[in-house]
Chains A and B, each alone.
Chain A
Amino acid sequence: MNFIKNFFERTEPLVQKGGKYHWLQSVHDGFFTFLYTPKTTSKTGTHIHDYIDLKRTMSIVVLALVPAVLFGMYNVGYQHFKAIGELAATGFLQVFLYGLLKVLPIIVVSYGVGLGIEFVFAQIRGHEIQEGFLVSGMLIPLVMPVETPLWMIAVSTAFAVIIGKEVFGGTGMNIWNPALVARAFLFFAYPAQMSGIKVWVSLSGADKVVDGFTGATPMADAAAGHITYSVADAFFGLIPGSIGETSTLAILIGAVLLIITGIGSWRIMLSTIAGGAVMGLILNAFAGSPALSEANQVFFGIPFWHHLILGGFMFGAIFMATDPVSAAQTVKGKWIYGFLIGILAILIRVINPAYPEGMMLAILLMNTFAPLIDHYVVRGHVRRRLKRATVKGQTA
């Protein structure tokens, strides 16, 4: 393996300032540090440093996403063959392969475009390439419907990286979760292609569909007053939906890894789920109200915990809400932030008439408010500290 290191060391002078390939400096550095942890030693402060770095943190999140990715691929194939009525006749491997071939290009485009832009920005700004996009690049495909055109993936990724992140200063400085910025961009820029019934199930190469196939997600059906899912399918993820969001089980496996390693905040996960459940219960209480339309009565009335396994709720709670940069940062703030996401997600999902999903908007909204939540938590902290001073002043 030494020849790789030698290659990078030998080429280093070429990419330094004034070198022949100085415009490749950030790329060189990016690949070098990816392969070899740098030999930099501490100059000030502590002489020893923890082995953890941002690369490891981010790669653990990517690892936690793997079950959702793999299951998402399988489900793409599953929905396809189910729609054309050939599910029983198709082997597991073929089903998975179909999904793999559908999903892989999306992942490649997302990483290609995103990392390309990151490299350019790192070069212009003269800083190291930062690892934030390792996770965003995987999240973006997972929140997309499978039939999203690749050029749309490219445009939305570019938008997310540039407007969602780099204008604020890069990884660690962004206000909103970049992957959700990409999703929201597509949702508002190309509403016709991003919702409705055409994008959720891949039908390419098929000339027929089975009778009764609509292509709608169970959530859209529920909003229209029909319950078309079984709890088991929704939990295991064998329902139409965005690529990575359908399987609650696969997402929970990732959640376990995030919680064990301490990389994802269990407080945010738990409070988001609690918020969703509470809102579900509140809606249940109104389900019988005659003021509601018939369809609304059905959607209001689905058991509160069904909301947790439907749509993007769980995926958002585990992987999106917990993004440490865009979430609240104080302990108390995390509880409030997560709880409000849960409440808002289900509220938007059920009440808004246009689009039966609310996780994306709820998280983006709370991303916006996270600094405000923190501001008040910190102010409370300061006030308590001041009180300590005055109480003491009186007794002294």
Chain B
Amino acid sequence: MSEVIRLKKGLNIKLKGSADKVLEKLPTPATVALKPTDFPGLTPKLTVKAEAEVKAGDALFYDKYHPEVVFTAPVGGKVVSINRGERRKILEVVIEANEKAGAVKFKKADPISLSEDEVKEQILKSGLWPFIKRRPYGTIAYPTEKPMSMYVSTFDTAPLAPDYDFVVEGQLDTFQTGINALTRLTEGKVYLGINSGSAFTGVKNVEINTFEGPHPAGNVGIQIANTKPLNKGEVVWTVNVQDVLFIGRLFETGKVDFTKTVALAGSEVKEPKYYQTTLGAPVASLITDKLIKADYHQRIISGNVLTGTKVEGSTYLGYYDSLISVIPEGDEYEFVGWADPGFGKFSASKTFFGKLFPKNEYTMNANLHGGERAFVVTGQYEKLVPMDILPVHLLKAILVNDIDKMEQLGIYEVIEEDFALCEYACTSKIEVQKILREGINTMIKELG
């Protein structure tokens, strides 16, 4: 049944410090937090106040426009603070973990024997719904919608990305239970995107597609576009691997269990490896004493270096992230950088001698390596997006706010991560992902 799809376009960026396949279990962190800012476009409405006692699985806030979508406490304990930013925007809901607080009880059953409504209700009430995202736009799925099908990508090709084959070791049965739940949510199929040599080949009740090729082959959006590309009016749902595990555990144990594996990687990490922790764990609990230099200007990223969010040690892991990357900040001048022959420098272009003598891994910093310019060079983006899309023309349509053009040129098929490589490689240092998200926001505002 499996079909092998070979993608030629794209680029693998080999960064120094990928995680060794060693798992260290960390104790439950003292505090965990949910950050409404992890969900683009969400308007959160709180259901708890500071000092409230909550069980794991109790609602903390919900989506103003889809009140059935609730966000629940990853651990039981006490809500110690609700941190707000400008205009009282909620930034963090922080819970002090207390094991005795217990967990909310849900139904324990194999989802395959349940009806669509029962599965949906359980996922909604337990706060697992936000893990189901919809395409177009990559926002949280609308529970009232009927998706054509569901997609799960089981591998990540981004720089330093965790290896999900390793992450799911010993949990494949739980994964299967989660997949079974997903099959109840769509009348179509559940598609599983795997790479060669995958640990997921034995998963049942799915249609498996094998993808070969450089990043972004592991992006679920790329996999959709190369199997059944989305057209106007069509909706599919996507779920990440670890989030399928959460859903599986919910139906296996009857309670929420947000234990997840997070890779700590990057050139500034002493021993890059995997850690078992909890959703919403403090970044500090993962990086303290684990970096090579403590007081060095480095950038800590929740997620990968292409799409992740810059975080401080005092904040919390991103909701969907399974990786913390640490790279040098690189806020230093470089003497005539444009004239450097570039031995040992990695580039998507062929203008550096590093291309002739490739290394196994590179250290890269967050420097822009140049000033921002207008679009000049052409043909650069097209080589990095393995979809039937003209990236520059789509971006230009967004810049001039032409909704018809955006629609025609494929805005329904892409989210930021699919164009992230373009931003990396761009000679003119154009903020591709920001522009794309603005376009998506315009689409949501104008067309719903």
Residues on A lying within 8 angstroms of B by beta carbon are 1, 5, 33-42, 44-57, 59-60, 128, 130-132, 169-173, 260-263, 265, 324-325, 327, 329-331, 334, 378, 381-382, 384-386, 388-389, 392-393
A382-B409 contact in complex given A44-B433, A57-B427, C-beta closer than 8 Å: yes
Distance in angstroms from A143 CB to nearest chain B CB is 21
User: Are B301 and A49 closer than 8 Å at their CB atoms?
Assistant: no
Q: Mark B352-372, 1 if CB is under 8 A from A, else 0.
A: 100000000000111111111
Please, how many angstroms separate the alpha-carbon atoms of A57 and B371 in the complex?
13
What are 18 pairs between A and B in contact, CB < 8 Å?
A36-B333, A37-B336, A37-B370, A40-B367, A45-B433, A46-B423, A47-B306, A50-B426, A53-B369, A54-B371, A55-B338, A56-B337, A56-B351, A59-B339, A172-B373, A262-B349, A384-B388, A392-B231
Contacts of B392 in A (CB 8 A): 329
User: Are B424 and A54 closer than 8 Å at their CB atoms?
Assistant: no
Q: Which 9 A-B pairs give the minimum distances between C-beta atoms?
A: A53-B370, A172-B374, A37-B337, A55-B338, A389-B231, A45-B433, A36-B333, A37-B334, A41-B366
User: Are A41 and B347 closer than 8 Å at their CB atoms?
Assistant: no
Check: B420 CB closer than 8 A to any chain A CB: yes
Looking at chain B's contact residues, is the secondary structure mostly helix, strand, loop, or mixed? loop
User: Are A52 and B329 closer than 8 Å at their CB atoms?
Assistant: no
Closest to A262 in B: B350
Check: B332 CB closer than 8 A to any chain A CB: yes
User: Are A52 and B370 closer than 8 Å at their CB atoms?
Assistant: yes
Please, how many angstroms separate the alpha-carbon atoms of A59 and B392 in the complex?
24
Contacts of B373 in A (CB 8 A): 53-54, 128, 130-131, 171-172
Check: B425 CB closer than 8 A to any chain A CB: yes
Check: B348 CB closer than 8 A to any chain A CB: yes
Contacts of B301 in A (CB 8 A): 47
User: Are B376 and A57 closer than 8 Å at their CB atoms?
Assistant: yes
- Between B305, B325, B370, B425, the greatest number of chain A beta carbons within 10 A of the residue's beta carbon is seen for B370
Please, how many angstroms separate the alpha-carbon atoms of A325 and B367 in the complex?
26
Contacts of A385 in B (CB 8 A): 388, 408, 410
Check: B382 CB closer than 8 A to any chain A CB: yes
User: Are B431 and A44 closer than 8 Å at their CB atoms?
Assistant: yes
- Out of A47, A131, A263, A393, name the residue touching B310 (CB < 8 Å): A47
Closest to B436 in A: A45
Check: B378 CB closer than 8 A to any chain A CB: yes
Contacts of B342 in A (CB 8 A): 51
List 18 extra interface pairs beyond A47-B301, A128-B372, CB under 8 A: A34-B338, A37-B335, A37-B337, A39-B330, A41-B299, A47-B299, A48-B306, A49-B370, A50-B349, A51-B347, A51-B352, A53-B373, A54-B370, A54-B373, A171-B376, A263-B377, A385-B408, A392-B228
- Residues in B162-188 with C-beta less than 8 Å from chain A: none
Distance in angstroms from A361 CB to nearest chain B CB is 23
A57-B377 contact in complex given A37-B369, A50-B348, A52-B351, C-beta closer than 8 Å: yes
Contacts of A39 in B (CB 8 A): 330-333, 367
A50-B376 contact in complex given A263-B351, A382-B409, C-beta closer than 8 Å: no
- Between A50, A262, A331, the greatest number of chain B beta carbons within 10 A of the residue's beta carbon is seen for A50
- Out of A47, A130, A384, name the residue touching B327 (CB < 8 Å): A47
Contacts of B428 in A (CB 8 A): 54, 172
Closest to A382 in B: B408
User: Are B333 and A325 closer than 8 Å at their CB atoms?
Assistant: no
User: Are A5 and B333 closer than 8 Å at their CB atoms?
Assistant: yes
Contacts of B420 in A (CB 8 A): 45-46
- Between B308, B338, B347, B428, the greatest number of chain A beta carbons within 10 A of the residue's beta carbon is seen for B338
Contacts of A171 in B (CB 8 A): 373-374, 376
User: Are B376 and A45 closer than 8 Å at their CB atoms?
Assistant: no
Check: B393 CB closer than 8 A to any chain A CB: yes
Please, how many angstroms separate the alpha-carbon atoms of A388 and B365 in the complex?
42
Check: B307 CB closer than 8 A to any chain A CB: yes
User: Are B365 and A324 closer than 8 Å at their CB atoms?
Assistant: no
Distance in angstroms from A177 CB to nearest chain B CB is 13
User: Are B347 and A50 closer than 8 Å at their CB atoms?
Assistant: yes
Distance in angstroms from A373 CB to nearest chain B CB is 13
Contacts of A392 in B (CB 8 A): 228, 231
Contacts of A40 in B (CB 8 A): 331, 367-368, 371
Check: B190 CB closer than 8 A to any chain A CB: no
Contacts of B351 in A (CB 8 A): 52, 56-57, 60, 261-263
Distance in angstroms from B318 CB to nearest chain A CB is 14
Please, how many angstroms separate the alpha-carbon atoms of A132 and B379 in the complex?
18
A172-B376 contact in complex given A39-B331, A45-B420, A55-B338, C-beta closer than 8 Å: yes
- Out of A38, A55, A130, A384, name the residue touching B368 (CB < 8 Å): A38
Distance in angstroms from B267 CB to nearest chain A CB is 11
Distance in angstroms from B44 CB to nearest chain A CB is 22
- Out of A36, A52, A128, A388, name the residue touching B336 (CB < 8 Å): A36
- Between A55, A130, A378, A384, the greatest number of chain B beta carbons within 10 A of the residue's beta carbon is seen for A55
Distance in angstroms from B75 CB to nearest chain A CB is 30
Closest to B428 in A: A54
Please, how many angstroms separate the alpha-carbon atoms of A287 and B120 in the complex?
79
Closest to A383 in B: B408
Closest to A393 in B: B231
User: Are A52 and B376 closer than 8 Å at their CB atoms?
Assistant: no
User: Are B333 and A41 closer than 8 Å at their CB atoms?
Assistant: no
- Out of B325, B372, B376, name the residue touching A132 (CB < 8 Å): B376
Closest to A33 in B: B371
- Out of B335, B339, B347, name the residue touching A1 (CB < 8 Å): B335
Check: B390 CB closer than 8 A to any chain A CB: yes
Please, how many angstroms separate the alpha-carbon atoms of A128 and B159 in the complex?
32
Please, how many angstroms separate the alpha-carbon atoms of A247 and B77 in the complex?
80
A45-B367 contact in complex given A51-B345, A381-B390, C-beta closer than 8 Å: no
User: Are A46 and B232 closer than 8 Å at their CB atoms?
Assistant: no
Contacts of B372 in A (CB 8 A): 128
Check: B13 CB closer than 8 A to any chain A CB: yes
Please, how many angstroms separate the alpha-carbon atoms of A388 and B366 in the complex?
40
Closest to A384 in B: B388
Distance in angstroms from B436 CB to nearest chain A CB is 9
User: Are A45 and B308 closer than 8 Å at their CB atoms?
Assistant: no
Check: B429 CB closer than 8 A to any chain A CB: yes
Check: B65 CB closer than 8 A to any chain A CB: no
Distance in angstroms from A50 CB to nearest chain B CB is 5
Closest to B407 in A: A382
Contacts of A173 in B (CB 8 A): 374
Contacts of B379 in A (CB 8 A): 265, 324, 329, 331, 334
Please, how many angstroms separate the alpha-carbon atoms of A56 and B429 in the complex?
13
Closest to B374 in A: A172
Contacts of A37 in B (CB 8 A): 333-338, 367, 369-370
Closest to B433 in A: A45
Distance in angstroms from B393 CB to nearest chain A CB is 6
User: Are A35 and B427 closer than 8 Å at their CB atoms?
Assistant: no
Q: Mark B279-311, 1 if CB is under 8 A from A, else 0.
A: 000000000000000000001010001111010
A48-B364 contact in complex given A55-B338, A57-B427, A132-B376, C-beta closer than 8 Å: yes
User: Are A48 and B327 closer than 8 Å at their CB atoms?
Assistant: yes
User: Are B431 and A45 closer than 8 Å at their CB atoms?
Assistant: yes
- Out of A44, A56, A128, A261, name the residue touching B434 (CB < 8 Å): A44
Q: Mark B399-434, 1 if CB is under 8 A from A, else 0.
A: 000000000111000001000100111111101111
Check: B254 CB closer than 8 A to any chain A CB: no
Distance in angstroms from B219 CB to nearest chain A CB is 14
